[in-house]
Amino acid sequence: MPHRSVYRTASTLSTVIVHDVAVAAGSDRQMVMAADGRTLTFAEWGDLGGFPVFTLHGTPGSRFSRHYDESVYVEVGARVITYDRPGYGGSDRDRGRQVVDCVADVTAIADTLGVERFAVIGGSGGGPHCLAVAARLPERVTRATCAVGIVPYGTADFDWFEGMDPLNVKEFGWALAGEDVLVGELEREAAEALERVAADPSKLFGDDWQLSEADRAELARPERQDVIRQAVSEAFREGVWGWVDDGLCFTQPWGFDVAEIRIPIRVNYGLTDVLVPWQHGEWLARNIPNAETVIEEHGGHVPDPDVIADAYGWLVQPV
Per residue in 54-74, pLDDT (tens digit) is: 999 999 999 999 999 999 999
Q: How far is residue 291's CA from residue 302's CA, in Å, rounded to a whole number?
A: 22
Q: What is the mean pLDDT of residues 148-153?
A: 98
The gap from C-alpha 76 to its chain's centroid, in whole angstroms, comes to: 21
Is pLDDT of 2 > 60? no
Q: Has residue 77 got a pLDDT over 60? A: yes
Whether pLDDT at 19 is above 60: no
Sign, CA torsion 231/275/212/127: negative
The helix/strand/coil state of 154 is coil
Residue 19: DSSP 8-state: B
- The answer to whether 252 and 179 are in contact (CB under 8 A) is no
Question: Which is nearest to 154 in space by CA: 176, 180, 184?
Answer: 176
Looking at the whole model, is its pTM more than 0.85?
yes
Q: Which residue has the higher pLDDT, 60 or 19?
A: 60
Has residue 12 got a pLDDT over 80?
Answer: no
Is a pLDDT exceeding 60 seen at residue 3? no
The pLDDT tens digits for 159-171 are: 999 999 999 999 9
Q: What is the pLDDT of residue 33?
A: 87
Asked which of 23-32, 220-229, 240-249 is least confident by mean pLDDT, the reply is 23-32
Average pLDDT over residues 198-210: 97
pLDDT band at 21 (very low <50, low <70, confident <90, very high): very low
Would the pLDDT of 85 be above 50? Answer: yes
Q: Which long-range contacts (CB under 8 A, 24 or more apart) does 245-248 make?
A: 245/85, 245/86, 245/87, 245/93, 245/94, 245/95, 245/96, 245/97, 246/59, 246/60, 246/85, 246/125, 247/59, 247/171, 247/172, 247/174, 247/175, 247/182, 247/186, 248/175, 248/179, 248/182
**Predicted local confidence at residue 221, as pLDDT:** 96
Q: Are 295 and 271 in contact (CB under 8 A)?
A: yes
4-315 topology per CATH: Rossmann fold (3.40.50)
Three-class DSSP category at 293: strand
How confident is the prediction for the chain on average, in pLDDT? 92
Taking a C-beta distance cutoff of 8 angstroms, is the pair 289, 258 a contact? Answer: no
Task: Say whether pLDDT at 311 is over 80.
Answer: yes
Residue 236: pLDDT over 90: yes
Q: Which H/E stretch holds residue 168?
A: helix 166-177
User: Could you state, in order of their start, the residue ranges of all structural domains in the chain?
Assistant: 4-315
Predicted pLDDT of residue 22 = 31
pLDDT at residue 62, rounded to an integer:
98
